[in-house]
């Protein structure tokens, strides 16, 4: 909608791929060098980009700080965290918490496995949406037309032979997940890794997040992992209960400045 801002923001993902110099930025934006320079300077003033010693630009520190503050404001995360830690202490595996937002599913919290073999994933990383257990749970909760539209639009990369191959299969899987109230990913993303997930619901019954436990085959088989399902569901339910209990007050809190 706003050309200048649009261009400026387009620089960020571009730099996320790796550092770039002025000409490269100007080139990829399709604007004159001087224009790109002004945009970069503005971004720089706000700490969004950083100019390294070789004069090339890369993403700046403020970005981290912002992402940081943003994630701290998600109250589900705050409530869920101790539960995730507790679950991790009981079973020892990696525990994830994820939310859905505008056609993306992303991890907002993670407790690392106690076993030496760990998964590669990170808070803030978008999830493999067509296969991950948490993604299935979150998408299964979308209203039918939206779910359908999204499913049609997605890519279905074949990470492994057990990845969801196409929209039709995905929608069928979502229906199943919706029905049973939990989800799995059995080697759909990485051949040797399995996950079991359960939904976290708000007071209105809608999903606000999803959580999962993941472990590689070498540590426990898929069958063994599935025995954890009741524990996972109980944890998710505990979070749901606590989250729903918190029936929204904090908004006005920061305004109040009353004296005793």
Partner DNA sequence: AGTTCTTGTTGCACTGTGTGCAACACCCAT
Partner DNA sequence: ATGGGTGTTGCACACAGTGCAACAAGAACT
Q: Which does 213 bind (CB under 5 to 8 A by kind): DNA, a second copy, none?
A: none
For residues 215 to 254, the per-residue mask of contacts with DNA, x marking binding by CB under 7 A and - elsewhere, is: ----------------------------------------
What's 38-58 look like in SS3? Answer: HHHHHHHHCCCEEECCCCCEE
Residues 99-158 contacting a second copy, CB under 8 A: 101-102, 104, 106, 108, 112, 122-126
Please, what's the b/e burial string for 216-234 (b: 16 or more CB within 10 A of its CB; e: otherwise)? bbebbeeeebbebeeebbe
Residues 4-33 contacting a second copy, CB under 8 A: 4-6, 8-10, 12-13, 15-19
CB of 257 to a second copy, least distance (A): 16
Q: Cα–Cα distance between 112 and 160 in angstroms, integer?
A: 24
Using the structure block, give the residue that is written with the tokens 């503050």: 69
Q: Candidates 34, 68, 168, 192: give the one binding DNA (CB under 7 A).
A: 34
Could you tell me how many residues make up the chain? 260
In contact, 137 and 96? CB cutoff 8 Å: no
Pick the stretch among 5-13, 70-78, 171-179, 182-190 that binds DNA (CB under 7 A). 5-13
Residues 79-138 contacting DNA, CB under 7 A: none
Residues 161-220 contacting a second copy, CB under 8 A: none
Residues 216, 220, 221: CA angle, nearest 5 degrees? 95
CB of 9 to DNA, least distance (A): 11
CA atoms within 13 A on the CB side of 121: 28
Q: Which does 161 bind (CB under 5 to 8 A by kind): DNA, a second copy, none?
A: none
CB of 29 to DNA, least distance (A): 8
CB of 18 to a second copy, least distance (A): 6
Using the structure block, give the residue that is written with the tokens 């992992």: 225
As to burial, measured by CB atoms within 10 angstroms (0-12 exposed, 13-18 middle, 19+ buried), residue 258 is exposed
Residue of 229, 112, 126, 118 lying closest to 180 (CA atoms): 229
Q: Candidates 34, 67, 165, 221: give the one binding a second copy (CB under 8 A).
A: 67
Positions that interact with a second copy (CB under 8 A): 1-2, 4-6, 8-10, 12-13, 15-19, 38-39, 41-43, 45-48, 50, 58-71, 73, 101-102, 104, 106, 108, 112, 122-126, 254
């Amino acid at each position: 909608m706003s050309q200048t801002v649009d261009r400026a923001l387009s620089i960020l993902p571009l730099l996320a791929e790796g550092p770039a110099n002025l000409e490269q930025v100007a080139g990829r934006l399709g604007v004159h060098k001087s224009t790109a320079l002004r945009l970069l300077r503005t971004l720089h003033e706000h700490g969004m980009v950083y100019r390294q010693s070789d004069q090339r630009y890369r993403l700046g520190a403020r970005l981290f700080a912002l992402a940081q503050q943003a994630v701290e404001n998600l109250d589900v995360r705050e409530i869920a965290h101790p539960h995730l830690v507790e679950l991790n202490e009981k079973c020892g595996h990696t525990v994830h918490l994820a939310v859905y937002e505008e056609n993306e599913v992303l991890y907002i919290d993670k407790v690392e496995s106690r076993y030496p073999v760990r998964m590669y994933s990170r808070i803030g990383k978008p999830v493999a949406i067509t296969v991950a257990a948490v993604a299935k749970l979150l998408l299964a909760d979308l209203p039918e037309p939206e779910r359908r539209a999204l499913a049609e639009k997605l890519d279905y990369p074949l990470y492994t032979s057990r990845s969801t191959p196409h929209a039709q299969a995905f929608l069928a899987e979502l229906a199943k997940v919706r029905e049973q109230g939990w989800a799995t990913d059995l080697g759909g993303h990485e051949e040797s890794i399995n996950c079991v997930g359960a939904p976290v619901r708000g007071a209105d019954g809608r999903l606000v997040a999803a959580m999962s436990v993941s472990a590689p085959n070498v540590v426990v088989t898929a069958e063994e992992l599935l025995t954890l399902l009741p524990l996972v569901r109980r944890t998710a339910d505990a979070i749901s209960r606590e989250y729903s209990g918190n029936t929204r007050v904090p908004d006005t809190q920061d305004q109040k400045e009353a004296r005793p």
